[in-house]
Amino acid sequence: MAIQQQEDKSSLCPSCGGQMKHVYAEANYGRYLLLDQCQDCGGIWFDRWELYHLKDEEAHRLDPVDKEKLLMPAPHSVEAGICPVCRVKMESFKDPNLPEDARIERCPQCNGLWLNRGELMKYVNHRMSIKKKGNNTAHPITPLTPELQQERLKVLQNMGNVLSAKITLDSYEEAALGAEEMDRKELAKDMVFIILQMLLRMILKF
């Protein structure tokens, strides 16, 4: 997707004080995010929850690796650490979904997040490593042996017989019962279905 930018004169970079620009980025499920990025230092502002919806591929475009810039200290500014939206002092943000060495600031008022250059790629690489680790630890599905399949089939057949007998018996009894007794029978019937459903789920887990 082509980068679309629009200057936002009301926002100043909380790192270097430079001018911020609107940047459109792709998010999950076919949506788009309107982010704010400093055209000087490359830092990015995410409104609440936006960081977690950003597609991994977009990080390479928004936060390209530039070793020379990464080694350069960010210029100090009177805007340093100030939320570009609420104009209040931001604080360091820690979260289990973020790398331990992440240096991300959060506004305590609007919950927006500020990421200096390089921090977005660090976050995305961390997220991808977690996904990869989760895929590697996934337990493979063990195929059922013919004996176990037959055993489960017998259990299901027995459950079907119990349900069929229960429903047939109830159909004869309900004609002679009053409304109150019928309510009790309906409740008992529901309990039987619930218990059988729980047993079925337990069986199918193995």
- Mean pLDDT along residues 30-41: 90
Residues 20 and 89 reside in one and the same domain: yes
Number of domains in the chain: 2
Residue 141 falls inside a structural domain: no
Residues 82 and 108 reside in one and the same domain: yes
Position 144 scores a pLDDT of 61
Residue ending a domain, among 77, 105, 136, is 136
The encoded tokens of residue 9 equal 């004169």
Residues 41 and 107 reside in one and the same domain: yes
d(CA 145, CA 143): 7
Residues 103 and 82 reside in one and the same domain: yes
Residues 115 and 76 reside in one and the same domain: yes
Under the banding of pLDDT at 50, 70 and 90, the label for residue 186 is low
Residues 54 and 75 reside in one and the same domain: yes
Residues 187 and 131 reside in one and the same domain: no
Q: pTM here? A: 0.55
Give the C-alpha distances (Å, rounded to integers) separating 136 from 19, 57, 125, 139: 44, 21, 17, 8
Residue 168 falls inside a structural domain: yes
Highest mean pLDDT among 55-59, 75-79, 87-91, 94-98: 87-91
Question: What percentage of the chain reaches a pLDDT higher than 70?
Answer: 55
Could you tell me which residues come within 8 angstroms of residue 182 by beta carbon, excluding any fewer than 6 positions away? 174
Chain-centroid distance, C-alpha 18: 33
Give the C-alpha distances (Å, rounded to integers) separating 149 from 58, 143, 161, 196: 47, 10, 18, 19
CA dihedral in degrees (62, 129, 106, 11; nearest 10)? Answer: 0
Secondary-structure breakdown of the chain: helix, strand, coil percentages, each rounded to the nearest 5: 45, 20, 35
Domain that holds residue 32: 5-136
Residues 117 and 174 reside in one and the same domain: no
Give the C-alpha distances (Å, rounded to integers) separating 127 from 48, 59, 121, 155, 161: 18, 12, 10, 44, 50
Contact between 146 and 152 (Cβ < 8 Å): no
d(CA 34, CA 12): 16
Position 199 scores a pLDDT of 67
